[in-house]
């Protein structure tokens, strides 16, 4: 169980990444019944640290604080070619050796790679840095096409906003979909994004206009997940041809309609397993996945577990909470 989280910073650290992990793990949401973490910021040497945007922060903790952490967030930085203190790299090795987890954000993958912990592992980083990371660390398998990678106990995320995806993924792993969804709702971000980095290389993904037909269709689909929805139906509700709808849908959400629907149905199934005693067959029906065998297939593919095992784990966490 993750209880103690440290953000590891250094000169030139990414201010956005620091903000993300501070928001997810450092903000006290106990009044809403959500988990609270013992969160701190640490550096190899306590004192003033300059971020990549020129802002300066004062870090109170040294590497001794890392020794207590269940999760160390290694943030992106602007000096990927700089030498790192051996004590910092050893602190990361020690974290894994005692059973802790490490999450790298964006170019923070260079820091973790320098420790040797990524040797023989698969890792994500920002698409702009992927070739350089692969060149400098040929023993590391760089995945250029994903938002994040779970290679437990090392978790790695791609650029900027992918850090949010990775943090929410960790929350789902630790506390279940309901907690991750609540935190995402308070942050006003989607709890789960389909797709990979390729969609962001040439263009940013725009927000869905609250007044658009597409937005209304998304809301309608979420309310009718148990039905046999088709792309043609969704296109018709959006007053578009199926082909035009698919194009607009990807531009607005970064996903295909089919992949988005599957993600929504999986989220509904997770919530039902966590919060009800419904049989697996009924969970599959209410989430729109049809048969229990289909539900089991997607749980195995996406979560690496079965619906029954997921329920045992996260109903227990909910009760403990």
Ranges 21-35, 54-68, 191-205: which has the least confidence: 191-205
208 CA to centre of own chain:
21
Nearest to 149 by CA among 100, 181, 106: 106
Average pLDDT over residues 133-142: 94
Task: List pLDDT tens digits, range 219-278.
Answer: 899 889 999 999 899 999 999 999 999 998 888 777 789 888 998 899 899 889 988 999
What domains does the chain contain, in order, with CATH numbers? Answer: 4-187 (3.40.50.880), 208-321 (1.10.10.60)
Ranges 37-46, 102-111, 202-211: which has the least confidence: 202-211
Give me the pLDDT at residue 153, please. Answer: 96
Q: Is the pLDDT of residue 311 over 90?
A: no
- The answer to whether 297 and 284 have CB atoms below 8 angstroms apart is no
Report the C-alpha gap between 245 and 264 in whole angstroms: 18
- The answer to whether 31 and 15 have CB atoms below 8 angstroms apart is no
Report the C-alpha gap between 199 and 304 in whole angstroms: 26
pLDDT confidence bin for 68, thresholds 50/70/90: very high
1 token code pair: 């169980």
Long-range pairs, 32-37, Cβ under 8 A, ≥24: 32/182, 32/186, 33/321, 34/179, 34/182, 34/183, 35/171, 35/174, 35/175, 35/179, 35/321, 37/2, 37/3, 37/4, 37/5
- The answer to whether 36 and 30 have CB atoms below 8 angstroms apart is yes
Give me the pLDDT at residue 271, please. Answer: 86
Task: List pLDDT tens digits, range 270-303.
Answer: 889 988 999 999 999 999 999 999 999 998 887 7
Give me the pLDDT at residue 205, please. Answer: 31
pTM of the predicted protein model: 0.68
Average pLDDT over residues 174-197: 80
pLDDT confidence bin for 214, thresholds 50/70/90: confident
- The answer to whether 213 and 239 have CB atoms below 8 angstroms apart is yes
Helix axes 177-187, 162-175, angle to 10 degrees: 150
Task: Report which secondary-structure segment, H or E, holds 284.
Answer: helix 280-286
Give me the pLDDT at residue 208, please. Answer: 52
DSSP labels for 159-179? STTHHHHHHHHHHHHHH-HHH
251 CA to centre of own chain:
21
For the chain, give the mean pLDDT. Answer: 88
Burial status of residue 69 (CB atoms within 10 A of its CB: 0-12, 13-18, 19 or more) = buried
Nearest to 15 by CA among 27, 3, 23: 23
- The answer to whether 25 and 18 have CB atoms below 8 angstroms apart is no
Could you write out the three-class secondary structure of 116-156? CCCCCCEECCCCCCHHHHHHHCCCCEECCCCCEEEECCEEE
């Amino acid at each position: 169980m993750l209880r103690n989280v440290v953000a590891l910073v250094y000169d030139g650290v990414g201010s956005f990444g620091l903000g993300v992990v501070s928001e997810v793990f450092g903000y006290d949401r106990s009044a809403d019944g959500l988990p609270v973490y013992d969160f701190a910021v640490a550096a190899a040497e306590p004192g003033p640290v300059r971020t990549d945007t020129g802002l300066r922060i004062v870090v109170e903790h040294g590497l001794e604080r890392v020794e207590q952490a269940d999760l160390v967030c290694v943030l992106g930085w602007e000096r990927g070619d700089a030498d790192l203190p051996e004590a910092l790299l050893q602190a990361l090795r020690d974290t894994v050796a005692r059973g802790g987890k490490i999450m790298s954000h964006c170019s923070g993958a260079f820091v973790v790679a320098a420790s040797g912990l990524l040797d023989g592992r698969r890792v994500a980083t920002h698409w702009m840095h992927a070739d350089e990371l692969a060149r400098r660390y040929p023993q590391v398998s760089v995945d250029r096409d994903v938002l994040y990678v779970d290679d437990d106990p090392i978790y790695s995320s791609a650029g900027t906003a992918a850090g949010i995806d990775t943090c929410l993924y960790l929350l789902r792993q630790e506390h279940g979909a309901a907690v991750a969804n609540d935190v995402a709702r308070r942050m006003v971000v989607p709890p789960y994004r389909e797709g990979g980095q390729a969609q962001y290389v040439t263009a940013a993904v725009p927000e869905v206009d609250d007044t658009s037909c597409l937005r209304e269709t998304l809301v309608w689909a979420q309310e009718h997940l148990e039905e046999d929805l088709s792309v043609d139906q969704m296109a018709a509700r959006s007053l578009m041809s199926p082909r035009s709808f698919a194009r607009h849908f990807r531009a607005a959400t970064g996903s295909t309609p089919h992949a988005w629907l599957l993600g929504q149905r999986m989220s509904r199934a997770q919530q039902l397993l966590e919060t009800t005693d419904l049989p697996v067959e009924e969970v599959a029906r209410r989430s729109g996945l049809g048969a229990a065998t289909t539900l089991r297939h997607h749980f195995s593919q996406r979560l690496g577990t079965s619906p029954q095992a997921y329920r045992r784990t996260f109903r227990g966490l909910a009760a403990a909470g």
